[in-house]
Amino acid sequence: MNEHDLVRELAEKNNSKIVMLVADGLGGLPEQPGGLTELETATTPNLDALAKAGVLGSSVPVLPGITPGSGPGHLGLFGYDPLTFKIGRGALEATGIGFELGPNDVAARGNFCTLGA
pLDDT tens per residue across all 117 residues of the chain:
777 788 888 888 888 888 777 777 777 788 899 999 888 889 999 989 988 888 877 777 888 887 787 778 888 888 888 888 888 888 888 888 899 999 899 988 877 777 776
Write out the DSSP string of the chain.
Answer: --HHHHHHHH----S--------TT-----SSTT---HHHHS--HHHHHHHHHS------SSSTT----HHHHHHHHTT--TTTS---HHHHHHHHTTPPPPTT-------------
